[in-house]
Amino acid sequence: ATEPEPPDYLSEGERDIFDKIKAGLSPETLEVQDISGGCGSMYAIDIASPRFHGLSVIKQHRLVNEVLGEDIKKWHGVQLRTRA
Amino acid sequence: MCSIIPSVLEALTTVHRQHNAFSFKAFARDDEVMAGIAKAVKEKPVVLFMKGTPEMPQCGFSRASVQILGMQGVDPAKFAAFNVLEDQELRQGIKKFSDWPTIPQLYVDGEFVGGCDILMSMHQDGSLAKLLAEKKVVVEA
């Protein structure tokens, strides 16, 4: 399976998150979007990864928290969509 | 499935006013705050830690969570809401307690269910209705 490549148009913040998730969760599809008007304070993240297989939604989100924990603490909010 | 029951949503806000008299500011020590939160999550079968009040949410995600609970017909007598904006100890403490970085946070029967994203997805796939029915926290139709 091909790994997702970061699109050219990602901001620095989006790219940073993209790279962390790619490294930490082996996603098959991955989308990261700054939804705070470019302020870097809120992101919408969509991840499909085999690592989520068999896990409840909340466990899937906790896995993401492990990878992005320190960042999320700095944000106002996050919109997470995950699936196996 | 029922549409928003206005009286349920209204009643949720009345219940809230009775509850936020409880303040975590009185606790000087971290372990006291944690103990206070451990009690708070069992205050009622359905407990929401949010920004603002059910009547006046201060954040879109908190507002959405209250609306979802209203749509699900949660019994106001079985519901409590805590406004983390009024209380810095609570605001930091609940994130530590749940090991979850964001607000709002929903507890059902003393157990952490999730934040707004999870509530929305559970609301859409029917698992929230199932959980609330199992825990017998919805208003009888």
Is residue B139 situated within a structural domain?
Answer: no
Residue B141 belongs to some domain of the structure: no
Measure the CA–CA gap between A18 and A31, rounded to whole angstroms: 8
Residue B73 lies in a domain: yes
Give the residue ranges of chain B where pLDDT is below 50: 1-4, 17-21
pLDDT at A35: 93
Full domain range(s) for residue B8? 2-134
The residue of chain A nearest to residue B112, with distances taken between CA atoms, is A58
Q: So what's the pLDDT on residue B18? A: 46
**Which chain A positions have a beta carbon within 8 Å of B113's beta carbon?**
58
Does the interface ipTM go beyond 0.95? no
Contacts of A84 in chain B (CB under 8 A): none
Strands B79-83 and B111-114: unpaired
Query: Is residue B140 one of the residues assigned to a domain?
Result: no
Give a yes or no: residue B62 inside a domain.
yes
- Closest residue in chain A to residue B96, using alpha carbons only: A73
- Please tell me the pTM assigned to this model: 0.80
A30-54 per-position pLDDT tens digit: 999 999 888 888 999 999 999 999 9
CA A82 to CA A69: how far, in whole Å?
16
| DSSP letter for each residue of B87-124 | -HHHHHHHHHHHT--SS-EEEETTEEEE-HHHHHHHHH
B111 in any annotated domain: yes
Domain count for chain B: 1
Let me know if A15 is exposed, middle or buried by CB neighbors in 10 A (0-12, 13-18, 19+): middle
pLDDT digits 0-9 by tens, B1-12: 444 455 555 656
Residues with Cβ within 8 Å of residue B76, at least 6 apart in sequence: B8, B11, B12, B14, B15
Q: Which of B101, B112, B118 minimises the CB distance to A57? A: B118
Q: Verify whether the Cβ–Cβ distance A77 to B113 is below 8 Å.
A: no
What's the pLDDT at B3?
Answer: 47
Domain for residue B22, yes or no? yes
With b for 16 or more beta-carbon neighbours within 10 A and e for fewer, the B26-64 pattern comes to ebeeeeebeebbeebbebbbbbbbbbbbbeebebebbbb
Q: For residue B61, what is the domain's CATH number? A: 3.40.30.10
Q: Which chain B positions have a beta carbon within 8 Å of A79's beta carbon? A: 117
